[in-house]
A and B are shown apart, each in its own frame.
Chain A
């Protein structure tokens, strides 16, 4: 059989292609946000340090730390330490769930304050809610999908039905989802500080 020009398994190449396509999707949605923001001089900048920015910092740190624990899982899997890898995967899922809970807390606070997809309680552009909930919602879906994927992979790896390559492939997706937060936090949170 002819060797792959990239020297990697086909599933790893497939996840890289998905990641590049998904990065273009997030790029497009962030460009749309930038367009709407520039075109609306009455754009609202509602965020205070407490609770929104502090919450955003905690979410970002949780995701970055989960990347580190995912590396622990991949390295343990490659070394053949199954139980250690599954434990690291469990910690990674827990950190992902921390992110989910923090974002849902942020959303519930904003909804209680009157923010909706097409309503701005502060009287500025109504597009703020659409872009904020749209961008963070798309990212939230990716994180939830990642947590579910890690749970499935951890279960399969624990039962010897999946191998270290599957853990590594899931890790690539998880790192990508975390890198998206490195753009969402400054552009959607910090650029909207009052």
Chain B
């Protein structure tokens, strides 16, 4: 085998790469970053890094898994860059507090659930929900109104299963700040899913 042939086999064709994996990586990044421009940028950075470091891949495992591994790092880098550029000030928005879910001061049972926002029985198991692709569309719509950073913190925690420490490090926030963000995201999402997926009308 001549040297030229060996080279042809070990260097990927970037054009085909982008066609094969571009959309997949873009969706992966978009879901976590919730910003199309930023998602395009990290996908581009991923391909560039992959091309540069192709000899490190050596055909171990699938090309896509390898690319996703690089993408995860690029997503983390993006979050770091963002928090350097716009550090969280005291006035930063962690998401809605949703005080209206609870009975106001002066009412009977102040601080307990307001009747029209109290949770109801969903009668649904995760195994059933996972089969309904519509559930994720509703979930995604519910996540959208949250501040980007809060939505990302929620995604990293509940979907990627990162630990609190890892998320605080990535987003450069304190653990108390993370807990507030997660709590607000959960309060908002649970209610939004109940209204829009389980179709419960306010009482």
Q: Do A and B interact?
A: no
A interface, CB within 8 angstroms of B: none
B interface, CB within 8 angstroms of A: none
